[in-house]
């Protein structure tokens, strides 16, 4: 056998090994997705019911108002926005339910040493992310379908802006999902991961926003994750300008006793391009940090 034919044979073997390795990697990810889907199906049904319950409550409130001679909005987008008031809370709740245990559970239950020799941490994390975020995205889709259905009943049309809003809802949900995944990678247990994540998203970020508002900072708060929620509603009718001015009395001024006021800016929503870039950067950052922390924690537990 010549040297050239020997080299060709070696190259063929390497190509076959790579193909086999790729098939095995894909197979392991698919198996993880299937396993996680079966394991979290009950959680998925529960969160779907919560979304349905919130929609029904919102619908009842709307109908009670109309029964008291409150007119139906002329603009269907205004009507749609009435169902999105609690959407940010719903996203946080559902993302915490799906992502809170995504990494923390392996160390809390000490299952890491049983799993990791059979599948790499990267493939395990990818499979879990795909499975659990898919459930989360289905819940978001379900809520938007409900909104679209009731809007069609009321107005005999569904504004195309609704589906654009749903796209932003997917991206915002993914960013919140990755943030909670990151928190899961540094917390000791699932419960602590969920509690701390929810506290940050519902309380800490809002406190920071309020403090900065009254310190007179006029910079757009792109560093606050929950600020990006605004694009979900206002992408359907972008306000100009994208902030409101709040005049707060600070006391009488001068001899005429006129009230002196200080003007603060309250930002409502980022622009479309800034929202897309910002949420994408945060999502990539949180996933990357979560993966490296995942590897680091596992190496310490081996």
Confidence (pLDDT) at 184:
93
User: Could you give the residue ranges of the DSSP H alpha helices within the chain?
Assistant: 3-39, 41-67, 76-81, 87-99, 104-108, 112-115, 121-155, 161-186, 190-199, 205-214, 230-234, 272-301
Full-model pTM: 0.86
What is the token pair recorded at 296? 């680091």
Three-state DSSP class for residue 22:
helix
Report the DSSP pairing between strands 243-253 and 258-267.
Answer: antiparallel
Structure tokens at 51: 């979304």
Measure Cα distances from 144 to 51, 124, 170, 229 in Å. 10, 30, 11, 15
Backbone angles phi, psi at 73, to 5 degrees: -55, 140
Two tokens, residue 39: 């394991």
Specify the 3-state DSSP secondary structure of 245.
strand
Q: Specify the residue for token string 């999502």.
A: 283
What's the structural domain count of the chain? 1
Burial label, 270 (beta-carbon count in 10 A; 0-12, 13-18, 19+)? buried
Tokens 């809007």, located at residue: 151
Residue 8 resides in a domain: no
Query: Is the residue at 115 inside a domain?
Result: yes
In-domain check, residue 50: yes
Provide the 8-state DSSP code for 2. Answer: -
Residue 98, in any domain of the structure: yes
**Mind listing the pLDDT tens digit of every residue in the chain (302 residues)?**
555 555 555 545 454 545 555 677 788 888 889 999 999 999 999 999 999 999 999 999 999 988 888 888 999 999 999 999 999 999 999 999 999 999 988 876 655 444 444 677 888 899 999 999 999 999 999 999 999 999 999 999 999 999 999 999 999 999 999 999 999 999 888 899 999 999 999 999 988 888 877 777 778 899 999 999 999 999 999 988 888 877 776 666 555 556 677 777 888 999 999 999 999 999 999 999 999 998 887 655 54
Residue 119 has what pLDDT? 73
Q: Answer whether residue 241 is part of any domain.
A: no
Q: How far apart are CA 237 and CA 188, in angstroms?
A: 43
Cβ pair 289, 181 in contact under 8 A? no
Asked if residue 18 is part of any domain, the answer here is no
Place of tokens 């809170």: 100
Residue 247 domain-assigned?
A: no
Domain around 153: 40-204+287-301
Whether residue 129 is contained in a domain is answered as: yes
């Amino acid at each position: 056998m010549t040297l050239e034919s020997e080299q060709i044979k070696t190259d063929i073997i390497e190509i076959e090994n790579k193909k086999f390795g790729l098939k095995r990697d894909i197979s392991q990810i698919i198996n993880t997705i299937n396993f996680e889907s079966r394991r979290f199906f009950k959680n998925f049904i529960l969160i779907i019911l919560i979304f349905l319950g919130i929609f029904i409550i919102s619908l009842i409130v709307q109908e009670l108002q109309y029964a008291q001679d409150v007119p139906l909005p002329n603009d269907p987008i205004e009507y749609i926005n009435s169902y999105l008031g609690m959407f940010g809370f719903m996203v946080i709740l559902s993302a915490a339910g799906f992502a809170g245990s995504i990494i923390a559970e392996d160390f809390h239950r000490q299952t890491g040493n049983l799993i990791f020799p059979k599948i790499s941490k990267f493939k395990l994390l990818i499979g879990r992310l795909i499975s659990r975020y898919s459930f989360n995205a289905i819940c978001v889709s379900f809520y938007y379908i409900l909104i679209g259905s009731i809007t069609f009943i009321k107005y005999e049309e569904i504004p195309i802006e609704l589906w654009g809003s749903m796209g932003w809802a997917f991206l915002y949900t993914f960013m919140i999902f990755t943030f909670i995944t990151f928190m899961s990678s540094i917390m000791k247990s699932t419960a602590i991961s969920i509690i701390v994540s929810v506290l940050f998203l519902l309380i800490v970020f809002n406190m920071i926003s309020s403090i900065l508002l009254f310190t007179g900072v006029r910079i757009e708060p792109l560093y606050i994750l929950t600020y990006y929620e605004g694009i979900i509603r206002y992408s359907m009718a972008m306000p100009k300008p994208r902030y409101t001015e709040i005049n707060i009395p600070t006391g009488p001024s001068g001899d005429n006793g006129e009230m002196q006021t200080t003007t603060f800016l309250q930002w409502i929503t980022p622009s479309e391009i800034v929202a897309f870039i910002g949420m994408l950067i945060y999502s990539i950052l949180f996933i990357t940090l979560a993966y490296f922390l995942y590897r680091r924690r596992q190496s310490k537990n081996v």
